[in-house]
Structure 1
Amino acid sequence: MATYDPFRDLDRLASSLFDTRRGPRRMPMDLYRDGDHYVLSADLPGIDPGSVDIDVDGQLLTIRAERTLPSGDGVDWITREREGASFLRQLNLGQGVDTERIAASYSNGVLSVTIPVSERAKPRKIAVATDSDGSIIQAHENSDAPQPVDQ
């Protein structure tokens, strides 16, 4: 048998009245590097995947999402604790990523964004040439290795 707790309802009312968070909320996320790409995982439970908007402007990655809740006419709510909300997260990608090949997927309430490392930012080997007596003539890059990012 469920018991009525008036303090829980009072706490919920106070939270909704004094909630100073207005506008978009931040989404919790993890970011890690896995080999030649970064993986961003953001929690967005209850989000319609069609509301997710991911933009890249220069080196700024912006993720927006909207959670809307049904509001049926004639519905008699018993309790309504979930809120509709807008979510926003922005990240400065830096120069070492390939912004043309960023990909995203959404599954089980988690948005996954794969951000490839640019070819120019990947580690490379430098070949060292020597003459017949073993002294170094010049050092040069392996011809098939990525080129460094010009600063």
Structure 2
Amino acid sequence: MLLTSIDPFVQEFERQFNQLTRQTAAGAAMPMDGVRRADDVVLRFDLPGIDPASVEVTVDRGVLTVSARREEEYAENDRLFVRERTMGTFTRRVYLSEHLDADAIEAAYDNGVLAVRIPVLERAKPRKIEIQHSGDGPKAIHR
């Protein structure tokens, strides 16, 4: 029998990373880092040059959506001769695990980085399991 260690958070982030790779190839990426901590998950999105008022974070039926808009205005006499920066609306969707508390999500925007904190539900947090000893009485587990 082969036993493996399964972390649903790592599996979800690997899936999201694979999706990001496909999005990047299509030219529509909003780079994201995901960090799993004991009590929460923190997602950080790079949004350089984005007006904070244009950033919107929503959650609906287990899907976190981050949207932002970058617009650039040119004066009437400006002539654009190079355009490498992407303008327009950027959207990123992240499917949340049922182990996360979607009702307690917090978001903050600072220096072009949007940080979204999602608490881990109490039932999903690691906990210590008491080990019964054979001398503890009739509660010992037998198969």
RMSD (CA atoms):
2.6
Determine the structure 2 residue equivalent to 1:75.
77
Query: Greater RCO between the two (CA within 8 Å, min separation 6)?
Result: 2
Give, in angstroms, the shift of residue 114 of structure 1. 0.8
Q: Which runs of 5+ in 2 are unaligned?
A: 1-25
Structure showing the higher helix proportion among its residues:
2
Q: Which amino acid in 1 is paired with 2:136? A: G
Query: Higher Cα Rg: structure 1 or 2?
Result: 1
Aligned length: 116
| SS of match in other structure, 2:34 | strand
TM-score (norm 2): 0.69
Determine the structure 2 residue equivalent to 1:137.
139
In the aligned structure 2, how far is the partner of 1:89 from the partner of 1:70?
24
Determine the structure 1 residue equivalent to 2:39.
36
- 8 Å contact from structure 2 (residues 50, 68) kept in 1: yes
Q: Which runs of 5+ in 1 are unaligned?
A: 1-20, 140-151
Determine the structure 2 residue equivalent to 1:54.
57
Give, in angstroms, the shift of residue 124 of structure 1. 2.0
In the aligned structure 1, how far is the partner of 2:50 from the partner of 2:43?
17
In the aligned structure 1, how far is the partner of 2:118 from the partner of 2:102?
7
| SS of match in other structure, 1:64 | strand
Determine the structure 2 residue equivalent to 1:117.
120
Percent of pairs with identical residues: 42
Deviation >4 Å, runs of 4+: 128-131
